[in-house]
Structure 1
Amino acid sequence: MIDHLRNMAIFQCVAELGTFRKAAERLNLSPSVISHHVSKLEDQLGTPLLYRSTRRMSLTEAGEKLLEAAQKMSMAAADGLSAVQRRADRPSGTLKITAATPTAHSPLVENYTRFSAAYPDVHLDIHLTDSNVPLEGSGFDVAIRGRVQDLDDSSYKARKIGQLQLCIFAARTYADARPRPTSIEDLSSWDWVRARPIPWARVAGPEVQQEPRIVMTADNYTLARKFVEDGLGFMVEAHELVAQDIRAGRLVQILPDKALPEIDIYAIYPANSPKDSLAHLFVDHITVHRGFPR
């Protein structure tokens, strides 16, 4: 088995670099030794792995499949070694995180605090914005998002870390000035302060045709909340963000018995992040300790 693994590793190097000479330079071996190991592997498997010619070298179908397996093997080995090293060392460095502005009022803040307490040598650099930052080339290590449809490309992974329940709320003065609604359709005559690009059909259901009048749109949660508190209209947001204000009577929940959709919250990070990276460490931590309801 050890011989097979060694030969697979050498074969992977040849396949990725494209020539025996380059693989020999990388592995500090002679080209003849490299060729010997690849030929031995072909003999062991009973099938050719490479098409060789004087001009070029290419993979056979079996070679392509073996290369994929060898790369997974190498990645798993590297991850295992890194995980052991991470436990032995004290993590340090800077971790850049981008998240939506409303998360400053969410249970996620407690996760930031717990992570910093657990890893005091890691500097969290947190950026809050109300627009999705394209991760490619942004310099951010982790993004916290309420959806994954707009993932930049397949080079990123998304791990679900919880859910938030939507609710409808308004200032008591605004709600008391109108007939008490008994259904979502009754809100068609109300005013909507919109702070999140949620289609009304997502909130009310596709069977509800008439939408409320959008009286104000703000791309900032705090600003939209101020408009609601001033009595301009109602707002749709995560219940966890306003639960304390509703309990204290500063806001009133509209149609509290109406089951509204939930928002899945994801941590997004590069798929090729090593297991010992700060991104993996942070995502593992908030997944274990949660902070968002599930």
Structure 2
Amino acid sequence: MIDHLRAMAIFQSVAELGSFRKAAQRLKLSPSVVSHHIAQLEEHLGLPLLYRSTRRMSLTDAGVDLLAASQRMSAAAQEGLDAINRRIAQPVGKLSITTNASMAHRPFSDLYAGFARAYPKVQLSIHITDETLPLEGSEYDVAIRGRVTDLDDSSYKIRKLRSLEFCIFASPDYVRGRPPLNDIDDLADWDRIAYPAIPWASIASTAEGKGPSRTPRSLLSCDNYAMARTFVEDGLGFMIETYPLVAKDIQAGRLVQLLPKVRLRPVDVFAVYPANSTRDSLARVFVDYLLSQQWA
């Protein structure tokens, strides 16, 4: 396998430069060694990769496909090396991030602590709000958002971090004595603690796209996750949030997951940052760090 990867890298140089001689010079190999690797690769694949003549060289269809795959391989390898080099170099500076209130709680808040430990010379400034702040002309380098419908793709780059499952939960005291739930519409007879302030039909849609036909009463509504959780824990009603925020409490019996077999439509979490951020910018360092973590 390693020999094949080396041969692919040599083939990529030949294809990009259009010459065995130029590829040999770039790779500091003799032209005969370059030719040998290409021949071995063609023999292994059982297909010609290059059309050769005394005047020109061109790629076969198989060569075009292999070049694209090799370029993706090289880009991934370079990104990995850059990530290690950035860790060694220990970047310095201030990084401003805006994110929503629920992302400020564990396990999500552990991401920021982990980044701070990995890059101790970077000064993190984290702004918590459930308002969608305009990034154009703002002080923020990165925004962590659960939706990106209002962004200008020409100004900002969007990287999907994870998809998160929603979970319906309540306290054991609130659930005790109530009739069992069979489907999402049975919650119409229960009390909802409305956080975030998203219409019930939107947040309670299933992964298959089926929406509820009945709406529960919103006993309380607030724009702060911690306060909403307090209302739930006090037995005032049920709530919907992403599962990682409540997993440990459900497993410990402090909260009860309602309708565990109903899979709600997940939310995609994105990192948003300026499109012109360079590979070694603090924004890219932070986003690459998030992508490397198994946090969901």
Q: TM-score range by the shorter chain?
A: 0.5 to 0.7
Query: Residues of 2 paired with 1:269 and 1:192: CA distance?
Result: 35
Please state how far the C-alpha of 1:86 moved relative to its aligned partner.
Answer: 5.4
Q: Which amino acid aligns with 2:253?
A: G
1:249 to 253, 260, 263: 253
Please state how far the C-alpha of 1:195 moved relative to its aligned partner.
Answer: 0.6
Give the secondary structure class of the aligned counterpart of 1:193.
strand
Query: Residues of 2 paired with 1:253 and 1:87: CA distance?
Result: 40
Query: Residues of 1 paired with 2:150 and 2:221: CA distance?
Result: 22
Counterpart for residue 214 of structure 1: 218
Counterpart for residue 189 of structure 1: 189
> Structure 1 residues 179 and 275 mapped into 2: Cα distance closer, same or farther (>3 Å)?
same
1:151 to 2:155 alignment: no
> Structure 1 residues 88 and 210 mapped into 2: Cα distance closer, same or farther (>3 Å)?
closer
Give the secondary structure class of the aligned counterpart of 2:197.
coil
Please state how far the C-alpha of 1:247 moved relative to its aligned partner.
Answer: 1.3
Give the secondary structure class of the aligned counterpart of 1:260.
coil
Query: Residues of 2 paired with 1:117 and 1:131: CA distance?
Result: 28
Please state how far the C-alpha of 1:110 moved relative to its aligned partner.
Answer: 2.5
Query: Residues of 2 paired with 1:137 and 1:246: CA distance?
Result: 42
1:276 to 2:293 alignment: no
The within-5 A match list for 1:67-146 is 89-146=89-146
Give the secondary structure class of the aligned counterpart of 2:284.
helix
Query: Contact (CA 8 Å) 2:192, 2:219: kept in 1 or not?
Result: yes
> Structure 1 residues 120 and 176 mapped into 2: Cα distance closer, same or farther (>3 Å)?
same
Residues 264-286 of structure 1: per-residue CA shift (max 9 Å, x gap): 11111011112221001111111
Report the aligned-residue RMSD: 2.4
Query: Contact (CA 8 Å) 1:98, 1:142: kept in 2 or not?
Result: yes
Please state how far the C-alpha of 1:128 moved relative to its aligned partner.
Answer: 1.3
Give the secondary structure class of the aligned counterpart of 1:244.
helix
Please state how far the C-alpha of 1:197 moved relative to its aligned partner.
Answer: 3.1
Query: Residues of 1 paired with 2:236 and 2:213: CA distance?
Result: 23
1:259 to 2:292 alignment: no
1:224 to 2:225 alignment: no
1:178 to 2:178 alignment: yes
Query: Contact (CA 8 Å) 2:87, 2:119: kept in 1 or not?
Result: no
> Structure 1 residues 88 and 224 mapped into 2: Cα distance closer, same or farther (>3 Å)?
closer
What are the ranges of 5 or more consecutive residues in structure 2 without an aligned counterpart? 1-77
Query: Residues of 2 paired with 1:270 and 1:284: CA distance?
Result: 14
Query: Contact (CA 8 Å) 2:197, 2:221: kept in 1 or not?
Result: no
1:287 to 2:291 alignment: yes
Residues 236-262 of structure 1: per-residue CA shift (max 9 Å, x gap): 101110111111111111111111111
2:242 to 235, 238, 241: 238
Please state how far the C-alpha of 1:199 moved relative to its aligned partner.
Answer: 2.9
Please, what TM-score do these two structures have when normalized by structure 2? 0.66
Percentage of pairs with the same residue: 50
Please, what TM-score do these two structures have when normalized by structure 1? 0.67
Q: What is the number of residues matched between the two proteins?
A: 213
Query: Contact (CA 8 Å) 2:197, 2:222: kept in 1 or not?
Result: no
Query: Residues of 2 paired with 1:154 and 1:229: CA distance?
Result: 44
Q: Which amino acid aligns with 1:274?
A: T
Q: Which amino acid aligns with 2:277?
A: S
Query: Contact (CA 8 Å) 1:93, 1:123: kept in 2 or not?
Result: yes
> Structure 1 residues 138 and 207 mapped into 2: Cα distance closer, same or farther (>3 Å)?
closer
Query: Contact (CA 8 Å) 2:192, 2:217: kept in 1 or not?
Result: yes
Q: Which amino acid aligns with 2:240?
A: V
Query: Residues of 1 paired with 2:250 and 2:87: CA distance?
Result: 44
Query: Residues of 1 paired with 2:251 and 2:175: CA distance?
Result: 16
Query: Residues of 2 paired with 1:193 and 1:139: CA distance?
Result: 33
Query: Contact (CA 8 Å) 2:108, 2:295: kept in 1 or not?
Result: yes
